[in-house]
């Protein structure tokens, strides 16, 4: 049995702890919620435990559908055992609809269907506001290899093929999402998290927002009732 030991990393919403097995970590989901590269921050009681359960649900679904990832098992309400990856410093963003920075950067109307879905890399660096980066720059700066780039693109697309219908069946639109990857004994594996903090989800008919944009935009009704409704509709609880 893996035993939790020292704190290795304290992120914006998660803390990672070592275990007595070097290949495994404990991820603790905290109640923090942040936006705009931490310019906005709050504590929402129960969000950590919600995100732990939601992430476990999605990662298990992905695993069942053949997308291996770092998730191993839930350890407690707000902690899970994960594989210890060496993370690539990049964010992979897939968009099925225009929203957020896509609308701002390209002058596209919010909600426009993006077919085929777009894929973009961002450099994971809050101080630089996570700038968009391309394959050429990733290669030149030795941030990823050609093989790794091909692998993360392929897996990101497969995740879309699995999750878009999953949310569609629950009367939601999976607008966009962000994935992060790492290396486990040299092989690319999906890591980090898939939660309502790292994607956009709208009601299919009303286009009502059910994701972290509720916090970004200070929408009336708060965040958690909407997060719980997503969980309910996808069959999580």
Residues that bind ligand ASP (CB under 6 A): 12, 34-38, 216
Nearer to ligand TMP, 105 or 146 (CB): 105
For residues 178 and 13, the answer to whether their CB atoms sit within 8 Å is no
199 lines the binding site for ligand TMP (CB under 6 A): yes
Least CB distance to ligand ASP at residue 178 (A): 8
Contact with ligand TMP (CB under 6 A) among 24, 177, 202, 210: 177
Full 3-state SS string of 38-87: CCEEEECCCHHHHHHHHHHHHHHHHHHCCCCECEEEEEECCEEEEECCEE
Options 72-80, 95-103, 109-117, 162-170: segment touching ligand TMP (CB under 6 A): 95-103
CA nearest to 174, candidates 203, 208, 205: 203
Find tokens 């993006």 and name the residue. 114
Q: Which does 100 bind (CB under 5 to 8 A by kind): ligand TMP, ligand ASP, none?
A: ligand TMP
Coil/strand/helix, residue 115: strand
Least CB distance to ligand ASP at residue 35 (A): 4
Residue 131 backbone dihedrals phi, psi, to 5 degrees: -65, 150
93 lines the binding site for ligand TMP (CB under 6 A): yes
Q: Which residues bind ligand TMP (CB under 6 A)?
A: 91, 93, 99-102, 130, 176-178, 198-200
């Amino acid at each position: 049995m893996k035993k939790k030991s020292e704190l290795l990393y304290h992120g914006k919403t998660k803390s990672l702890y070592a275990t007595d097995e070097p290949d495994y970590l404990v991820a603790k989901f905290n109640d923090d919620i942040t936006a705009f590269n931490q310019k906005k921050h709050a504590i929402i009681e129960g969000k950590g435990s919600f995100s732990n359960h939601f992430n476990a649900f999605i990662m298990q679904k992905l695993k069942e559908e053949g997308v291996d990832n770092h998730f191993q098992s839930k350890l407690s309400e707000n902690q899970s055992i994960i594989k210890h990856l060496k993370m690539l410093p990049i964010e992979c963003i897939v968009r099925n609809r225009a929203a957020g920075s896509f609308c701002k950067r390209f002058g596209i109307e919010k909600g426009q269907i993006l077919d085929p879905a777009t894929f973009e890399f961002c450099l994971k660096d809050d101080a630089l506001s996570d700038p968009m980066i391309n394959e050429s720059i990733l290669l030149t700066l030795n941030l990823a290899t050609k093989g790794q780039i091909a692998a993360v693109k392929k897996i990101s697309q497969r995740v879309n093929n699995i999750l878009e219908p999953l949310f569609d069946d629950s009367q939601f639109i999976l607008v966009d999402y962000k994935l992060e990857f790492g290396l486990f004994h040299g092989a690319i594996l999906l890591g980090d998290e898939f939660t309502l903090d790292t994607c956009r989800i709208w009601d299919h008919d009303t286009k009502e927002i059910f994701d972290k944009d509720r916090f970004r935009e200070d929408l009336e009704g708060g965040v958690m009732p909407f997060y719980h409704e997503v969980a309910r509709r996808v069959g999580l609880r």
